[in-house]
Amino acid sequence: MGTIEGPTEISSRHLSTRMSTLRPSPIRALLRLVDQPGVLSMAGGLPALSALDADRVRAVIESVLDHGGALGPTALQYGPTEGVDPLRRRLAGMLSAELPTDADDILVTTGSQQGLDLLARASIDPGDVVVVEAPSYLGALQSFSVAGARIVAIDGDHDGIDVDRLAAELAGGLRPKVLYVVANFHNPTGAVLSLDRRIRLVELAEHHGFFIISDDPYGELRFAGPPLPSIAALGVGRPVSIVRLGSASKILAPGLRVGWMTGPPALLEAAGRLKQSADLHTSTLSQLVVAELLADEGAQRAHLDRIRSRYRERAGALSDALGADLGERVDFSPPTGGMFTWVTALDGTDTVELFPRAIDHGVAFVPGAAFSVDGGGFTGSLRLSFATLDPTRIRIGVARLIEAWRP
Ligand SMILES: Cc1ncc(COP(=O)(O)O)c(C=O)c1O
C-alpha cells in the first residue's frame, strides 16, 4: 500500500534544489493587490495600450500568411533555432547603423528575457560571480540566481552603476565572470550610464577579463538629450567580449515575444544549443511579423516618434506633479527616456509600509525592495512607470500617492 501525501509534501518532493533560488517574494505577493478596480497603477512595466498598434499588426499578419506562395504558409511552419532569415537580415541592417553586424551574428530569442536565461545557463557555473547594478531588473536577477551565480550588487546613481566602486572591488580581488548592465533608461531607476562610465566599464572588462551583457530594451525610447555610443561600439577593436540583447517588446509589442542577441560566436552558439532544448525556435509567425513591421521603415519611424512623444508628455506630467507636491520629501531625476522614474523618500518613509496605504487610496507603485538583490534594500525608494497612464490619470495618481504618504 502506498502512503497518501498532502499536496505540499508531494510538490516539494518533486522540485529540484535549484527551485529554492526562485522563492516567491513577499513583494510579488503585495503586487497582486495592484489589479483591483479603481486602482490607478503606475506599478507595471507595461507599454501604453495606445502604443500597441493592433491595426498595423493585423494587416501585417494577413500579408505574412499570404507570403509563402508555393512553399505554403511558412509563417505557420517550424523554423531554424537561430531565427528566420528575413528577421535576422532586417535586424542586422538595423544594428549595422551603429556597428557592422551580420545576419549570422544574430540569435533570435523569445523576448530578451530568454536571452538572459540562455546566457546565464550557457556561461555560469554555480558560484561564479555576476556583477549587477543595484537596484536591478528582477528578471535578470532570477536568471542569474537559477544558474547558481553569486550575485554582487554595486550601487548606482543618476549616472548608472558606480564604476569607481566596481574598480575598487576589482582591485580588492573581486573576480566576476559577467557584468550585467542596462545602460539606457535603466529598469527600475531610469538612469542613463554616462559616457565616462561606459568607457571605464569597457576598460575594466578588458583588464579583468569578464564579459559584459548589455541589455537594451529601452534605448529607442529616448525623448530628451543626445544618444550616447553603446558599450558594444566603445568595445570595437579591443579584446573585450560584449553581448548585446535587444527586444521588440517596447518598440512594437511585448506580446509578440521577439528579442535578439549578438555577441562572441562561442557564446551565441552555446545559447543557440540551449535554445533548441528550451523551445526549438521563437514563433515563426511572430518573427515574420516583426521582420515585416521593421521593414516599413517610414511607418516604424512614425510609430516610434508617437511613442516617444507620448512618453515625453507622460514623464513630464509625472515629474511636474511629483516636484510640485512631494518636492521636499523625495529625490528623483526627471527621466529622459524609457518608462520609469525612481523616487527616493528623504523623510524616512518606508515604501513597503506605504504600499497598502497607497492601494487603499487607489494608486499603485512598486516598492524599491522588489529590485534589491537580497530583497531587503531600497526600502526608502519606489518605482513609478509613466508609460501606462495618460497625464490626467498620472496627476490623479500622484495626488492619491501624496494623500497616502501623509501618516
Ligand atoms: C531591463 C529589461 N530587460 C529585459 C526585459 C525583458 O523583456 P522582453 O523579454 O519582453 O524582451 C525587460 C522587461 O521589462 C527589462 O526591463
389-401 residue pLDDT tens: 999 999 999 999 9
Helices (H), 215-350: 231-234, 265-279, 284-295, 297-326
CB of 180 sitting under 6 A from ligand 1: no
State percent of the chain over pLDDT 90. 82
| Pocket flag, ligand 1, residue 112 (CB < 6 Å) | yes
The residue whose grid cell reads 511572430 is 286
**Residues in the chain with pLDDT < 50?**
1-3
Distance 313 CA to ligand 1 centre (A): 23
CA of 112 to the centre of ligand 1 (A): 6
Q: How far is the CA of 157 from the centre of ligand 1 (A)?
A: 21
Check: CB of residue 193 under 8 Å from CB of residue 161: yes
* Look-up of cell digits 503606475: 42
Residue 217 CB less than 6 A away from ligand 1: yes
Q: Is the CB of 182 under 6 A from ligand 1?
A: yes
Which residue of 136, 142, 192, 215 sits with most ligand 1 atoms within 8 Å of its CB, as the best mutation to test the pocket? Answer: 215
**Cβ of residue 246 lying under 6 Å from some atom of ligand 1:** no
- pLDDT confidence of residue 1: 43
Distance (angstroms) between ligand 1 centre and the Cα of 217 equals: 6
Does the CB atom of residue 143 touch ligand 1 within 6 A? no
Q: Quick one: DSSP state of residue 68? A: T
Whole-number Å distance between alpha carbons of 266 and 272 = 10
Beta strands in 70-184 (DSSP E): 106-109, 129-134, 150-157, 160-161, 178-181
Ligand 1 atom closest to Cα of residue 186: 1
Nearest CA to ligand 1 atom 16: 187
CA 379 → CA 24, 210, 283, distances in Å? 18, 31, 40
Give me the residues paired with residue 194 across strands: none
For residue 327, how far is its CA from the centre of ligand 1 (angstroms)?
30
CA distance linking residue 393 with residue 397, whole number of Å:
6
- Residue 163 sits at φ, ψ, to 5 deg, of -70, -30
Residues 6+ apart with CB under 8 A from 155: 133, 134, 161, 162, 165
CA distance 73 to 314: 41
Q: How far apart are CA 297 and CA 33, in angstroms?
A: 41
**What pLDDT sits at residue 2?**
44
259 touches ligand 1 (CB under 6 Å)? yes
Dihedral sign for Cα atoms in the order 91, 93, 96, 97: negative
Nine-digit cell at 264?
Answer: 562572441
Distance 251 CA to ligand 1 centre (A): 12
Q: What is the DSSP letter of 46?
A: P
Ligand 1 pocket mutation, candidates 117, 249, 388, criterion most atoms within 8 A of CB:
249
Q: What is the CA radius of gyration of the chain?
A: 22
- Please state, as a whole number, how many other Cβ atoms lie within 10 Å of the Cβ of residue 265: 9
Q: Is the CB–ligand 1 distance for residue 189 below 6 Å?
A: no
Residues in the chain, overall count: 407
Closest Cα to residue 55, out of 240, 247, 303, 338? 303
379 lines ligand 1 (CB under 6 A): no
Closest atom of ligand 1 to CA, residue 110: 9
In this structure, which amino acid lies at residue 117? D
Query: Which position has the grid cell 495618481?
Result: 397
Ligand 1 closest atom vs CA 254: 10
332 close to ligand 1 (CB < 6 Angstrom): no
What is the per-residue pLDDT for 324?
86
pLDDT tens digits, 58-111: 999 998 988 765 556 789 999 999 999 999 999 999 999 999 999 999 999 999
pTM for the whole structure = 0.94
Tally Cβ neighbours within 10 Å of residue 28: 12
Mutating to test ligand 1, I would choose from 132, 161, 182, 187 the residue with most ligand atoms within 8 A of its C-beta, which is 187
